[in-house]
Amino acid sequence: MERICVEGINHRTSELILREKLYVPANMLAETLSGLLKTRGIDECMILSTCNRTDIYYVYSGKDMGTAAMEALCGMKNIDFKKHAAAFYLFRGSRAVEHVFKVASSLDSMVIGENEVTGQFKDAFVAALENKSAGRVLYALFNAAMAAEKRVRNSTDISKGAVSVSHIAVELAAGIFGTLKGKRVLLIGAGRMAQMAAEHFRKKGAGSIDVLNKTYEKAVDMSKEFKGAAYGFGSLKQAMENTDIVLASTGSVKPVIKTKLIRGIAAKRNTPLHIIDIAVPRDTEAGIKNIKGVFVHDMDDLNKHVEKNMAARKSGYKAAEAVIKHATGKFEKMLIMKDLAPVMQGIKEKIYGIVVEESLKTARENKLPLSAARLVEKNAVAVVDRIISTHMNELKKRIDAGGDYESFIKLIKEEFKI
């Protein structure tokens, strides 16, 4: 259990600018996982990188790894680890497992109860499997995390009426304008986040919902559903001139909305232009915030909005947290018993070998028939099984009670010279 570790950064510990730099896009996962596995002591690892966090979940051998994993990632990203050390968290053992379960169950999300992170967690594990960086321990951790997430979802109201980042973005827009009725909306990007946002904009009465995407055909398909216009990236200027609200959520690693472009558009507008950028890394260049009449709202702004308006979501947090704590304890016991299995098997094999040897010796010395020799052996094995069973029952009691099972295991090894 102590070999499981988490190192990471999230929306509570750092500003967006650092999260952007540490973001690991899908096309960089294989290379990054490979680099982490080259870090001495890391046996298994997976990376969960989203708009609000970059976490490294890993299993290490030997001495305490400290912050070696995050230092390695910072090295790959050309980031000064020491300069930003205060923004990173480090959890080991039970605390690490509890954190993983909370993340998978959306208890550690910016929007508590949203279900998007669960899908992202699954994708992160699949990527680790595909890149052969996940092994026996992370496989067990993943399955336990999914079981905990299911129990949280089914036995608490934490996900009741759950919202998403896209929903919060639309609520932010509605708060800015008072009403979205008749407003023109432009979605830049046609992925899952944009699709969810479009649904919310429609429910809020937006006048038109246009779609701009790198793949024009995808923009056409989505714009038909929401009865808007479709644009390719070559028509970005035209699309932005005819809108009130822009919601950007592409997967680009570099800004797609340039300062020079927006400055030219703003000079011709008589009304403010609001850009809600929910992409990480951001889709907007930093200089756009300084243009008069243009207002950019990024993930940090959404986080502030959430903190003011999500108090009700926390009503089921304590119940969900209790589920997570129980799941963490259960996983710890399961992992201990798995680690113990080869120890107990070694004890059995060693003692059974002695039993067979002594039974044959007794049979020869007393000139017993084969049937009698086997009876002696059978009785001796029964005695051995009772001894081992007694040790196992005592060990289970200590584990269940949270007692000092490690010293007991040490004693068993010493007794049987394992």
SS3 of residue 283 by DSSP: coil
Run of H or E residues at 185: strand 184-188
Structure tokens at 351: 């003692």
Distance of CA 262 to the CA centre of its chain: 35
Catalytic residue among 5, 45, 51, 74: 51
Q: Which 8-state DSSP code applies to residue 284?
A: B
Residue type, 397: K
Kindly list the distances between the CA atom of residue 389 and the CA atoms of 346, 347, 376, 392, 404, in Å, as whole numbers in the listed order: 14, 12, 20, 5, 19
Q: DSSP letters of 258-303?
A: -HHHHHHHHHH-SS-EEEEE--SS-SB-GGGGGSTTEEEE-HHHHH
Dihedral (CA of 125, 128, 132, 137) sign: negative
**Residue 281 preceded by cis peptide, ω within 30:** yes
Cα torsion at 402, 407, 410, 415 (round to 10°)?
A: -110
Distance of CA 216 to the CA centre of its chain: 32
Q: Which residues contact 60 (CB under 8 A, 6 or more apart)?
A: 3, 5, 41, 42, 43
Render the burial of 376-388: b for 16+ CB within 10 Å, e for the rest. Answer: bbeebbeebeeeb
Kindly list the distances between the CA atom of residue 224 and the CA atoms of 191, 198, 214, in Å, as whole numbers in the listed order: 15, 12, 17
SS3 of residue 161 by DSSP: coil
CB 142 within 8 Å of CB 134: yes
Annotated active-site residue 51? The verdict is: yes
Cα torsion at 244, 246, 247, 251 (round to 10°)?
A: 170
- 396 burial via Cβ count (<10 Å: 0-12, 13-18, 19+): middle
Structure tokens at 79: 């980031």
List residues with catalytic annotation: 51
